[in-house]
Amino acid sequence: MRFDIVTLFPELFPGFLSGSLLGAARAAGLIEVSVTDIRDHASGIHRQVDDRPFGGGPGMLLMPGPVVECVEAVQRCDPRPGQVILLSPGGRRLDQELVESLARRERLVLVCGRYEGFDARIAPALDAEEFSIGDYVLSGGEVAAMVIIDAVSRLVPGVIGDAESARQDSFSGADRLVEGPQYTRPREFRGLPVPEILLSGDHARIATWRHEQAREATRRRAECSPNTR
Ligand code: SAM
């Protein structure tokens, strides 16, 4: 799986890409990540990338020229055509189902907006999809790109040592339940005991109990977050 990040702030990525699972996955050649600065594709002595919106209004918009030319140059760096994704609060909201479909692609090109966002012609010019990571506004698409890279990479075979663990995670599996409560040692902490059934060694009953707990956790979550499924 290859990720290309297109951004005005490439300096935000090295720490994120080198730590923990992602660092190990890159070192093992399971994922490949390339970061490109939009400003390298801007012209003029000021290498301008943004301008005022037609019709008035606050702030600046990313101009189509530098963004489109940057993405076209990035696409030429690898023979696999990348699916272009513009990070945008108004885009399709990311969920685990969408993450799973992205993990089946060979290459994603993640374009990070800034300021007031993208000129509206950028998406059709690049045949891009627009994705949001939630109903709130960030200062830029970089954190959203990191979210997508992290969530998708976990599903790339080999990135997580135990593939079964990803299959049992929240929102995974056919019923897309959230995970129920889990416990480790000690058996009692500040008067709070581990449920007896988890110590019983009866794997069938434990599996049934866990499923019930997951259903209950999912129901409670739906009550306090009505926009969820
Ligand atoms: N004026 C835009 C609006 O109201 O929809 C907000 C622009 S925001 C300040 C700047 C950039 O941050 C966006 O172009 C986008 O790339 C990124 N961004 C902000 N919120 C996001 C979200 N929820 N999901 C994905 N990207 C987001």
Domains, in order of start, for the chain? 2-153 (3.40.1280.10), 177-224 (1.10.1270.20)
Tokens 């699972």 map to which residue?
21
Of 64-73, 132-141, 193-202, 220-229, the range with the lowest mean pLDDT is: 220-229
110 confidence band (pLDDT: 50, 70, 90): very high
Residue with CA closest to ligand 1 atom 1: 116
Residue 136 Cβ inside 6 Å of ligand 1? The answer reads yes
Name the more confident of 225 and 18.
18
Whether the link from the prior residue into 81 is cis, omega within 30° of 0, is no
- The reply to whether ligand 1 has any atom less than 6 angstroms from the CB of 133 is yes
Mean pLDDT of 44-69: 97
For residue 10, how far is its CA from the centre of ligand 1 (angstroms)? 17
Assess whether pLDDT exceeds 70 at residue 201: yes
Q: Is residue 143 within 6 Å of ligand 1 at its C-beta? A: no
Residue 227 has pLDDT above 80, yes or no: no
> Confidence class of residue 163 from pLDDT cuts 50, 70 and 90?
confident
Q: What is the structure's pLDDT at 132? A: 98
Q: How confident is the model at residue 145 (pLDDT cuts 50, 70, 90)?
A: very high
Query: Going by CA atoms, what residue is nearest to atom 22 of ligand 1?
Result: 89
pLDDT at 229 over 60: no
What's the mean per-residue pLDDT of the chain? 96
Could you tell me the two tokens for 102? 């992205």
Ligand 1 atom nearest to CA at 133: 24
Query: Ligand 1 centroid to 179 CA: how many Å?
Result: 30
For 86, left (φ over 0), alpha (ψ -120 to 50), or beta?
beta
Burial of 112 (0-12, 13-18, 19+ CB in 10 A): buried
